[in-house]
Structure 1
Amino acid sequence: MKQLFTCLFICICLSLQAQLKSPADFLPSYGKQVTYHYQVENYFSYLVQNSGYIQHKPYGQTNEERGLNAYYISTPENLKDIENIRQNNLYNIGMGPKPAVAIDKAIVWLSFNVHGNEPAGTESAMNVAYELINPANTATKEWLQNTIVILDPCVNPDGFSHYGNWLRSISGKEPHTGTTDREHMEPWPGGRENHYAYDLNRDWAWQVQTETQQRMALYNEWMPMVHVDVHEMGFNEPYFFPPPAEPMHDYITPAQKDFYSVIGEMTAKKFDANGWSYFTREVYDLFYPSYGDTYPSFNGAVGMTYEQGGIGAGRAVQMRNGTTLTLQDRINHHTTAVLTAVETASWQKDKLVKNFRAYFKDSRENPKGTYRTYIVKNNGKTEELAKLLTRNKIQYAFADETKKLSGYHYQSDKDKDFVLEPNDLIISINQPKALLTQVLFEPQQHLSDSLSYDITAWALPHAYGIDSYALKKEISVKTKTEVTYKGKFEYDRVYAYYIPWNGRASAKILAQLHKNKIKVRSARKAALYRGIKVSPGDLVVLKGDNSQLTEFKQAMTVLLESKRDYEVIESGFAINGSDLGGESYPLLEEPKVLLVAGKDVNSTDFGQAWFYMDEIIDYPVSIVDLQNFAGVKLADFNTLLIPDGWYSLSEPEKVRIDTFITNGGKVIAMGGALNLFDDRPGYSLTKYATDAARNTAKDKEEAEELNARYYNYESFLRRGISSVVTGAIIENTIDTTHPLNYGLGNTYFSLKISDARYQLLKGAVNTAYIPAGYKSFGFIGSSLKKTFANTVTFAVEQKGQGQIIYMVDNPLFRGFWENGNLLFSNALFLVN
């Protein structure tokens, strides 16, 4: 009888498993309409409740309070041992303790919908999960015997919801396959990016955004061997899967390249059998380190991008070849490709495990780069760099002694002697993340092909603007785990508070002081007080300026709690330099900020400015769409931020901005916004210093067009890149006496991502310009490179009682250019 009940129980369980619903059975419009995000979560909850092959792992929340979720998929036996499997993987690459039981499995991470308006990713994620755990699919059950699948169905829930909610709201009963219908015309800013209009697919290494920070914490707890990043591209394109295109970074290993070839062959067979079009080895390279394919690759995995045509397709669209591409087609293609990746990883399990461990062993014992140790001098920005290293699980320490050393100096681009001092940051490549460390710190990256998809230089010492050195050997010095601060100077009375201006923490403190209506002064010249050396830009809060605070000392102690290097000044009398009551300490005006948004504005550049205001400095900003700009009372503001864009303002709107500046307003114009002022009466901004220079440029352009008549078809693209820069680091000479440059150092290295160039301005302050014979890192087209010399990067022009700050380059680019964050803080707060 007991055996009978056992058999019946097993039969009931099998019956329930066999009845597991597919997405098409569970969701009423699956494959015909984009699924609401809550429905996606409901479906995965249903799978978890009805199958022993899947476990839920929530890992965070978005800015709009949507859940971030991953799902572990494998056999019930493997899921029972999931923690031992995870620990065993980390232990064998030197990143964790020894597990209780050593269990080797292939670990495959699948990421869907990092771009919200590429919905076939999340739609196919549901189908992939179903097929992996579907009781009727015996093949996937075999794969899962030796494989752990970590599936993230929606990396960007906010963007996915923005797009899906919009498409749902404008959809008629039947899909419109013609491209003139509004379902193929997504409005600004679109759902591609997250809440702050950041492209999360460019954020893997920098981890600026909360979604990335939370996801990468889980990623580093697992360190998968294979990572599949599922995307969509323009709807007329065939499917892309690996092998990737050149340039491939030199640090991509032969073992990784072998897997790309295997996966390409396996996937091609499946697509051939279905008659589906595809391509490999074109467009999608492996160079810039912050993508969903490159970042995993620099962490030992086989990182892969999968691209399905679909952006702008809505529910269905007619392609150039006359066929109709449906949402269901896109789901089918992704499902087949992604399942093939899991199948290949399972089949190659032993080789994957072996190669993955060898990757970490070889990167430590036989490092690829030139340098073995990186030293970053201590200043206010070093703390932010240490946070970035921590997020990436890159090990570091701080010097606890003084020592004379010699090494490559990033800022001068040559070898120099220097002194290692206590609190300097030391990063050795003798650690598990050796190769990633080298990728992020090597001064120059080798390009095998100039046709790169993204920026080609990113060395962190230049991004953070900190004096740094690279050494070809390891060093032996006494170290400590954190920066230590000298004790505060003893004082009998409080005359003022001194706050160094040395990084984003200073800007955030200043923002809080302004929000609390506390008056602040900024030093314009160096001075010395008892034990305190004041540099230009440093902040001073005088008790005498803030008589409204009955408990001045108590209020300031609370506000400055997070800024450990502040000091109390007892007397305003300077030992050397100006007294605190002198003209070298002007009061700072409280910014009242208006940020322009809307369809003519570059959404990502707008998002970077918005994120800076909201999250980096936590300061209020009003945002207005351009269509409503005419109705805004500009007199209520004193600062106008105009991000990069393609502006077509009417003359009366331009005159309103002119009047705003003349009456004492400050405009910060970035990138394409400079076209609003280029060659306009009353402004000095111009691309050509003289009419003769303009005519010479025109003659040269006409001569090149004449020569182009003899080019063959194939050479056009290659010749075109001689006038292109996709992202290179360029040396700038800066005016260190100007408030726009306080705290930046003696030289500013800017990230140049466009060919825009303007002559040095007449009658204005050229605060940063590219000198003749400038140093650069990364690719710049040969004909373009020489034209950058003696062109302006940042400038400040006085107009009436106000001023305009011209930013040819975007200092807030992707949020990771930390010296750019400080420069923007200077523009907002210190340029009065």
Structure 2
Amino acid sequence: MKKSIFLISFLFLYGLYTQAQIKSPSEFLPNYGKQITFHHQAEAYFSHLVKESSLIKHQVYGQTNEERNLNVYFVSTPENLANLDQIRNNNLSAIGLSNQQNQKIGDKLIVWISFSVHGNEYAGMESAMTVAYELLNPSNKETKEWLKNTIVILDPCENPDGQSRYANWLREISGKKTHPGLSDREHMEVWPGGRYNHYVFDLNRDWAWQTQVESQKRIALYNQWMPQVHADIHEMGYESPYFFPPSAEPLHEFIDQYQKDFHFSLGKNIAAKFDKENWLYNTRERFDLFYPSYGDTYPTYNGAVGMTLEQGGIGAGREIKLANGTHLTTKDRLTHHAKAVLTIIETASNQSDQLLKGFRGFMTNSRKKAKGVYATYVMKNNPKSEQLVELLKKNGIEYSYANASQKTIGYNYKTKKDNTFSIEPNDLIIKADQPRGVMTQVLFEPNQKLNDSLSYDITAWDLPLAYGLEGYALKNSVALSTKAAIEKKQLNAPEKVYAFHIPWNNRTSAKIVSQLLQNGIKVRTAAQKAVFGDVIVESGGLIVSKGDNPTITNFEKTVGDLIQSKADYNYLTSGFSVNARDLGGENFSLIKMPKILLLSGKGVNPTEFGAVWHYLDEVIQYPTSIVDVSNLGRIDWSEYNTLILADGNYNFSEDFSKQLENWIAKGGKVIAMNEALSQFEKTESYALREFASDEEKTKSENAAKEKELKSRLLDYHNHERRLISSSIPGAIIENSIDASHPLAFGLGSNYFSLKTDARKYSLLTNASNVIYVPKNYRSYGFIGHELKKQLAETVTFAVEKKNKGTLIYMIDNPYV
């Protein structure tokens, strides 16, 4: 008996001893709080915690493009950690996402904290180490009480590539002393900055769309856990006091009262902690809960209490002097974050019963039609729906395909009216009655209802319009036979084919032509529809003929293997067409292999550049040379036939502008987007103009002067609201299309662009206005009333021919 008592005592004391070996971040990292921590150093610290404590587990959930680990750490009691998978399944089972349940394990609250989605907001990752330490620290008895009913999931750095870019830069330019003055270089981050990931994407806006590998891996794990609370830890301009919930308006109408209540009680608790320290803060300002692709809204629409925390710090370097004379240091920033985050965990643990009840009620009620107006969403069968289906899979949204026909009435996204239509076999069916019903309804809702027009970001995201689909929203459920997938017909091509036809009808088509050209295979494209027996080659359709590629060994297998991912490809047994557009005639021209140059560097909009780069490099996997604008004089222009100018202020010199004009005249192609168009607007050599005539320009200038005079007696308080009358934070605009132009091939009869700024140009003369905003256009989301009138009959995409060359003007970036 005495031996047993001795053994138990020894094990207990040994447990305390092993926990006591935990080092604080400042003990482990000598410069902690004084200098930025490298990502690998933070990983090393968390490895130390995992080794020394039984209260923490590590999981690698993916890798970045630069092969850095994406990590989460589970913090709770040893008993809870031993039952993690069953706790996870119990949580999913309670909301209809799992059928595995263990009644012996009690309910546990899941709180997920994400840090530093923007790499240059580095105080987030720094604070994650303090948060972890305080949760594990044996002398902190209070945190151990929280962990009894709570699983804490810490993601210390959502964006390791961006954080590493910023850390390398800040370390390289840092001296022994800090430089609080604004003019020091540590407050002047170089392009593109650490905010973004490898492909210069803003991961904070990628939660729903999951274009980037970090988002894809993180949200796959998130949807396996479905936490009740999620906090996204950010920084903002260094002069701004700390922000925490409650959030600002607009709040989406689907947000539950339980979520608002927790925001309010949490806000009071954090405020009490900050008041004791005399720290300044604000709530209910600027950061709203509306656009569904943020780290606060995406969890919110998935039943959690989602939130953003913002600490002033961007541009602060290691230390900066504020306008009030105080100094803001790295230590200050991480300390504020740690205090707020620990308060979130404390408040959540203390209100675990209310949170679990509210979360489960939200998810259960999300299946009810009462949540929203529409019960079913139907997308007419279209090759473009492949990409939409991929999005649904990533978000865990259930879907099926019609297996029969049925006439019904639904809201037509394009006409904005209720129309009678027929559901046909293979149409895509998405029902609101599913476990993730609210997220489904938010993503597919035809009309986003703003209760305040001062929105932080995009105010419309209608998925059918974004994917170019004919879609309908139905108020009732459809009693219709469905199937899980579309049966793919096996194409039995003969041993000898004359040519292959690859339809030009979705993003996969672009990837296919990319692969064909890179493999030295010649490809033709159809200017107009051509009919070959029962095969219809549409305008823009791709043709790979044996006659163009006589040196390819085993032509049928080589080409067939490259185009397998395009399920709707076909083959021709003859080049003789039914409608006098034979394969060897003028209707089919060879595609000239693009040799692409993409400009980067200071003045170029990082995210717009990143969208283009990601599309070329990842989506269609096409080789692209990227050159910094500062190195323009070193370019051998004979190596390129295509120049892409993403949105940006390029400020080309007069000499370079003339050089560029000569290059275009000799056959070069320029694709210019958004602000890059100003390089061509300011010279008489090109057709691009903001105004159609001098009279129109004078009229606009006079109207602006009159408005300025009238504003002299307006009150100051409503200044910001008056400004939005000419603004567009992010709205969808209906466009008309010249479907006969090659630039419009594959787009259908109309096009919907996402417009995020007020830039506009009149319809061009001596050029092709391929896609333009018609006089009485439809729009979705918020557009200031003054700007809305001015956008009518403006161009969106235009093509201008200059001798042998071409300019493609894109007012809006089609990749965002």
Q: Is TM more than 0.5 here? A: yes
Match of 1:24 in 2: 26
Amino acid at match of 2:478: I
What is the CA-CA distance between 1:557 and the residue it aligns to? 1.4
Match of 2:513 in 1: 510
Match of 1:826 in 2: none
What is the CA-CA distance between 1:614 and the residue it aligns to? 0.5
Choose the corresponding residue for 2:93, options 72, 91, 94: 91
Amino acid at match of 2:344: A
Choose the corresponding residue for 1:245, options 223, 229, 248: 248
Match of 1:445 in 2: 448
Amino acid at match of 1:43: Y
Could you list the per-position Cα deviations for residues 247-289 of structure 1 after superposition, in whole angstroms to 9, with x for gaps in the alignment?
Answer: 1111111111111101000100000011000000000001110
Match of 2:640 in 1: 637
Match of 1:420 in 2: 423
Amino acid at match of 1:11: L
Match of 2:376 in 1: 373
Match of 2:327 in 1: 324
Answer yes or no: is the 8 Å Cα contact 2:369–2:432 preserved in 1: no
Choose the corresponding residue for 1:696, options 696, 699, 704: 699
Could you list the per-position Cα deviations for residues 61-115 of structure 1 after superposition, in whole angstroms to 9, with x for gaps in the alignment?
Answer: 0000000000100011111111111111100111111323342111100000000
Match of 1:803 in 2: 806
Amino acid at match of 1:65: E
Match of 1:781 in 2: 784
TM alignment of 1:387-536, pairs within 5 A: 387-488=390-491, 491=494, 493-536=496-539
What is the CA-CA distance between 1:488 and the residue it aligns to? 2.2
Distance verdict in 2 for CA 1:762–1:263, change over 3 Å: same
Answer yes or no: is the 8 Å Cα contact 2:39–2:164 preserved in 1: yes
Match of 1:361 in 2: 364
- Whether 1:279 and 2:282 are equivalent positions in the alignment is yes
Q: Compare 375-384 and 23-32 and name the one that shifted more.
A: 375-384
In structure 1, C-alpha distance between the alignment counterparts of 2:806 and 2:100, rounded to whole Å = 62
Q: Compare 401-410 and 511-520 and name the one that shifted more.
A: 401-410
Could you list the per-position Cα deviations for residues 134-186 of structure 1 after superposition, in whole angstroms to 9, with x for gaps in the alignment?
Answer: 11000000011111101000000000000011101110001100011111111
Q: Compare 256-265 and 361-370 and name the one that shifted more.
A: 361-370
Answer yes or no: is the 8 Å Cα contact 2:595–2:642 preserved in 1: yes
TM alignment of 1:748-759, pairs within 5 A: 748-759=751-762
- Give unpaired runs (5+ residues) of structure 1: 814-832
Answer yes or no: is the 8 Å Cα contact 1:376–1:468 preserved in 2: yes
TM alignment of 1:33-112, pairs within 5 A: 33-101=35-103, 102-112=105-115
In structure 2, C-alpha distance between the alignment counterparts of 1:281 and 1:207, rounded to whole Å = 28
SS of alignment partner, residue 547 of structure 2: helix
Could you list the per-position Cα deviations for residues 552-608 of structure 1 after superposition, in whole angstroms to 9, with x for gaps in the alignment?
Answer: 111111111211211111011112351111111111110000000010100111111
What is the CA-CA distance between 1:647 and the residue it aligns to? 1.8
In structure 1, C-alpha distance between the alignment counterparts of 2:237 and 2:580, rounded to whole Å = 62
Amino acid at match of 1:115: H
In structure 2, C-alpha distance between the alignment counterparts of 1:394 and 1:577, rounded to whole Å = 47
In structure 1, C-alpha distance between the alignment counterparts of 2:8 and 2:344, rounded to whole Å = 38
Answer yes or no: is the 8 Å Cα contact 2:502–2:542 preserved in 1: yes
What is the CA-CA distance between 1:409 and the residue it aligns to? 1.4
Choose the corresponding residue for 1:13, options 15, 18, 24: 15
In structure 2, C-alpha distance between the alignment counterparts of 1:170 and 1:146, rounded to whole Å = 46
Q: Compare 76-85 and 479-488 and name the one that shifted more.
A: 479-488
Answer yes or no: is the 8 Å Cα contact 2:369–2:433 preserved in 1: no
In structure 1, C-alpha distance between the alignment counterparts of 2:553 and 2:307, rounded to whole Å = 61
In structure 1, C-alpha distance between the alignment counterparts of 2:40 and 2:789, rounded to whole Å = 54
What is the CA-CA distance between 1:646 and the residue it aligns to? 1.4
Amino acid at match of 2:422: V
Amino acid at match of 2:487: T
Could you list the per-position Cα deviations for residues 520-550 of structure 1 after superposition, in whole angstroms to 9, with x for gaps in the alignment?
Answer: 1111111222221221111111110001213
Choose the corresponding residue for 2:562, options 556, 559, 563: 559
In structure 2, C-alpha distance between the alignment counterparts of 1:161 and 1:798, rounded to whole Å = 44
In structure 1, C-alpha distance between the alignment counterparts of 2:641 and 2:253, rounded to whole Å = 49
In structure 1, C-alpha distance between the alignment counterparts of 2:60 and 2:682, rounded to whole Å = 54
Amino acid at match of 1:512: Q
Aligned length: 813
What is the CA-CA distance between 1:492 and the residue it aligns to? 6.1
- Whether 1:155 and 2:158 are equivalent positions in the alignment is yes
Answer yes or no: is the 8 Å Cα contact 1:489–1:568 preserved in 2: no
Match of 1:181 in 2: 184
Answer yes or no: is the 8 Å Cα contact 2:496–2:556 preserved in 1: no
In structure 1, C-alpha distance between the alignment counterparts of 2:222 and 2:447, rounded to whole Å = 28
Amino acid at match of 2:597: L
Answer yes or no: is the 8 Å Cα contact 1:367–1:434 preserved in 2: no
In structure 2, C-alpha distance between the alignment counterparts of 1:193 and 1:244, rounded to whole Å = 24
Amino acid at match of 2:135: L
In structure 2, C-alpha distance between the alignment counterparts of 1:124 and 1:492, rounded to whole Å = 64
Calculate percent identity across the aligned residue pairs: 54
Structural RMSD (CA): 1.1
Match of 2:681 in 1: 678
What is the CA-CA distance between 1:4 and the residue it aligns to? 2.4
Answer yes or no: is the 8 Å Cα contact 2:458–2:730 preserved in 1: yes
SS of alignment partner, residue 544 of structure 1: coil
Answer yes or no: is the 8 Å Cα contact 2:21–2:52 preserved in 1: no
Answer yes or no: is the 8 Å Cα contact 2:368–2:432 preserved in 1: no
Choose the corresponding residue for 2:389, options 382, 386, 396: 386
What is the CA-CA distance between 1:490 and the residue it aligns to? 5.5
What is the CA-CA distance between 1:303 and the residue it aligns to? 0.3
In structure 1, C-alpha distance between the alignment counterparts of 2:600 and 2:732, rounded to whole Å = 28
TM alignment of 1:279-298, pairs within 5 A: 279-298=282-301
Answer yes or no: is the 8 Å Cα contact 1:115–1:231 preserved in 2: yes
Match of 2:142 in 1: 139
Choose the corresponding residue for 1:746, options 734, 746, 749: 749
SS of alignment partner, residue 568 of structure 1: strand
Answer yes or no: is the 8 Å Cα contact 1:125–1:153 preserved in 2: yes
Q: Compare 686-695 and 406-415 and name the one that shifted more.
A: 406-415
In structure 2, C-alpha distance between the alignment counterparts of 1:596 and 1:773, rounded to whole Å = 37
In structure 2, C-alpha distance between the alignment counterparts of 1:171 and 1:489, rounded to whole Å = 65
Amino acid at match of 1:37: H
Answer yes or no: is the 8 Å Cα contact 1:526–1:577 preserved in 2: no
Amino acid at match of 1:515: Q
Match of 1:625 in 2: 628
Amino acid at match of 2:247: P
SS of alignment partner, residue 707 of structure 2: helix
Choose the corresponding residue for 1:267, options 265, 270, 286: 270
What is the CA-CA distance between 1:8 and the residue it aligns to? 2.7
In structure 1, C-alpha distance between the alignment counterparts of 2:555 and 2:747, rounded to whole Å = 31
Match of 1:718 in 2: 721
Amino acid at match of 2:117: V
TM-score normalised by structure 2 residue count: 0.99
TM alignment of 1:540-689, pairs within 5 A: 540-689=543-692
Match of 2:222 in 1: 219
In structure 2, C-alpha distance between the alignment counterparts of 1:754 and 1:47, rounded to whole Å = 47
Match of 1:127 in 2: 130
Could you list the per-position Cα deviations for residues 390-418 of structure 1 after superposition, in whole angstroms to 9, with x for gaps in the alignment?
Answer: 00000000112222222111122222222
SS of alignment partner, residue 776 of structure 2: coil
